[in-house]
Amino acid sequence: MALEHFNQASERAAKSQPVERSNIETAHTKAAESVLRSERHQLKGDDRLQTLLKTPQQESRKAQSKELNIKSGLEANRLITERGRHNVPHVGFIARQLQRSEFRRTRALKPDRQNARYKEHKPVGETREHELQEQIAIRAANQKLLNQTEQNATIKQRQQNDPFAASLAEEKEALPGLAKERQEGAATESPVVASDKSGFNPEGLLRTAGSGVIDIQAGINVQTEPQQTLSPAEGVKLEEIVGPEATLTFREKLREVWGILEEGSTGDLDVIARMPVNLMGASAVELLVVESPQGVYFVAFLRNKNDFDLLEPFDRHALLPPNPSRYLIEAAIIAYEQLDAIVRGGCEKIGEGVSQLAASRSSDDPALVFLRQRWLFAKRRRRRFERIIDYLVGELDEYDLREESNKAGLAGAEKLESLKDGLGEEEQEDSARVVKLADHLGGQGRLKKVL
Amino acid sequence: MLEVKDKYDEVFQIEMEGWAYGIANYPGEIFPELVFRVVRELEGSFIAAIEHHYVFNIVEVATMFSKAAKYLVHEKDITFCILSLLPPPAKFDEDGQFVMAQIIDQVEKTYGGALERLEKKWRWDLKYEREKKEAA
C-alpha cells in the first residue's frame, strides 16, 4: 500500500517537474560517476578494481552463496559428529548437499514476477542508477573479454614453448579424417617409444596374442562417441569458471594422477560442487569437485580466486595437501572410513575362502599359501587404514587447537590496535617492539597484519 | 598357452569375490570414486596375476564389481580403471608381457581404444620418469 502510494507520488512529481527531474538525474549520475572515478584512482591493482566493478547485487549474491556454502558445510559437520566415526556420510553426500544448496541459491536469485512489476514502477532516479549499474556491468564484461583474449594469447605462447600442449591443441583442432591419420601414425610411432628399454611392441604382441587385426577405427569411434555428462542445471563446465589456460593446467595435473585421462577438448570437465576453503593465511582458496566424462571425481584447489592462474598440485600418495582445511581433513577421514568398511567386508570373505581351502588342501599347497598371504595383506591394509584414520583425527584436533590459538591471537591483536590508537609516537615505537616480540614468540602472522 | 603358476587363478578368483562382497555389503551408497579406490587398492593383485601367468578375464572382473556396486558404476569405467593400473610392459619378462597383451586384447575387442590409451600412458610414464631422473 505504502509502496503504491510512493510510486504514485513519484510519478506525479515526475510529471509536474520534468526539467528539474532530468537535472537531478544528470547531477546524480555525474556524482556517482565522479565517486566511481575517484575510487578507481585510489584503488591499486586489478583485483580491487574487479571488486569495485561488481554491482551491489553481485556482492549480495556472493555473500549469500558463501553463507549457504558455509551452512551446508556446517550441516555436514553436524551429521558427521552426530552419526559417529563409523557411520559417517560419504563425500558424495557432501557434494550432493552442496549441489542442492547451489540449486536453491540459483532458484532464490531468479527475478520473480513481483519484482518485475516493482521494477516497472521504479522512481526515475532509481532506473538511472540501474542503467549506470548496467553500464558498469557491460564494462566489466568487456574487461572479461579482454582478459580472455589475453589468456588465449598466453596459451598460444605456451603452446609454442611446450610441444606437449601444442600436440593437445593440434588434436583439438584436427578434422576427423586427419585425426585418423594421426592416430595411425601414432600407432606406428609409439612402439618405438615404448620399446626404449625392453624392445616391447604392444601392437605386435597383441597381434600375436590371438586377436587378429586390431580395429584402430573402432578405438577412434569409442573416443568420439558422445560422453555422458551432467545437464547444465546440475553441472558447470570447469572452463567457464577458471578459463581455458587454468583448465589446461588442471588437465596436466590430472594426468599426473590419472594417466589415462583423455586428451582433447578441455570443455568436458564438469564442476559439480564449489566450496570456499579458508586455509590459514590464504582465504581466497576454493575447492572444486570436478567430474570427468568417465564419471571420476577429482578435487581441485584454486589458490587465486581472481585470475585462477595456479592450481594446487596434488599427489595421490599424499594424504592431504599442504595446509589442509577442516573440510578437507574431514573429507579424508570419511574417505578412509568408507574404504575401511569395504576392506573389512573383503577381509571377512577372503578369510572364509582361506578356511575352506585349508580344510580341503594340504598346508603347503601353493594356492593356500598365496591366498593366506593375500588375506594377511588385506588385514594389514585394514590396520593401515585404521592408523591413517587415527592420524587424521589427530590432525583435526590439532587444527582445532590452531584455530583456537589464532582466534585468541586475533582478539589480542584487536586489543593492541585499540590501545595503539590512543598512544603517542614513543609509545607507538614501544608497541611496535611488542609486536615484533609477539611475532617472534608466537609466529602470529595475523597479529602483524592487523597492526 | 602359458601354464598358470602356483594355482594363482584360484587365489585371484577368491580374492576378487571377497572384494566384490565387500563392495556389495557396503552400508552406504556406492559411488564411482569409491569403487575406483577399491580397484586401485587391488593393483598388487593384478600385477601378481600377470607375474603368475594368469590371463584373468578383465571384463568379467569389472562386471562382477559393477554388479556388486548395483550397476551404479559402468563396467567399461572399471575395466579402464584396472587397465590404468597395469605398469609399463618393460617391468615384466617376456611371458609376462604376453599375458599382459592378452588381457589388453580382451578390452580392445570389447570396447576398443585400450591399446591407444595405454600407449599414451606409458609414453607419459617414461617421460615422467626421465624428467624425474633429470631433476634428481
pLDDT per position as a tens digit, A261-305: 555 555 566 665 555 544 444 444 555 666 655 555 555 555 554
Phi, psi of A230, deg, nearest 5 = -75, 155
B104 touches chain A (CB under 8 A): yes
Contacts of B131 (CB under 8 A, 6+ apart): none
Tens digit of each residue's pLDDT, chain A (451 residues)? 444 554 565 565 445 544 444 555 566 666 666 665 655 555 444 444 444 444 455 555 555 555 555 555 555 444 444 444 334 334 444 444 444 444 444 444 444 443 433 333 344 444 555 566 666 666 666 666 666 666 666 656 655 554 444 444 444 443 333 333 333 333 333 332 333 333 333 333 333 333 332 222 222 222 223 333 333 334 566 666 666 666 676 666 666 555 445 555 555 666 655 555 444 444 445 556 666 555 555 555 555 544 343 344 444 445 566 677 777 788 778 878 888 888 888 998 999 999 988 888 888 888 888 888 888 888 888 888 888 888 888 888 888 888 888 888 888 877 777 776 666 666 666 666 666 666 655 544 444 444 4
Domain of residue B29: give its range.
5-135
A367 touches chain B (CB under 8 A): yes
A83 touches chain B (CB under 8 A): no
| ipTM of the complex in this document | 0.85
Selecting from A89, A205, A345 the residue whose C-beta is nearest the C-beta of B26 gives A345
Mutation target among A205, A230, A336, A380 for the B interface, most CBs of B within 10 A: A205
Selecting from B15, B41, B121 the residue whose C-beta is nearest the C-beta of A350 gives B15
Mutation target among A374, A382, A383 for the B interface, most CBs of B within 10 A: A374
pLDDT digits (tens, 9 = 90+) for A315-339: 444 556 667 777 778 877 887 888 8
Selecting from A190, A374, A377 the residue whose C-beta is nearest the C-beta of B119 gives A190
Selecting from B18, B101, B119 the residue whose C-beta is nearest the C-beta of A205 gives B101
The predicted model scores a pTM of 0.44
Are residues B104 and A202, on separate chains, in Cβ contact within 8 Å? yes
Mutation target among A162, A223, A270, A338 for the B interface, most CBs of B within 10 A: A338
Are residues A345 and B22, on separate chains, in Cβ contact within 8 Å? yes
A223 touches chain B (CB under 8 A): yes
Selecting from A205, A221, A259 the residue whose C-beta is nearest the C-beta of B124 gives A259
Mutation target among B2, B5, B11, B46 for the A interface, most CBs of A within 10 A: B11
Min Cα separation B134/chain A (Å): 17
A346 touches chain B (CB under 8 A): yes
Which A positions 142-201 lie with beta carbon below 8 A of chain B? 183, 186-187, 190, 193-194, 196-198, 200
How many CB pairs below 8 Å do chains A and B form together?
187
**What cell does A124 get?**
526515475
Q: What is the mean pLDDT of residues B17-31?
A: 90
More confident residue, A173 or B12: B12
pLDDT of residue A169: 45
B6 touches chain A (CB under 8 A): yes
B38 touches chain A (CB under 8 A): yes
Min Cα separation A407/chain B (Å): 36
Q: How many domains does chain B have?
A: 1
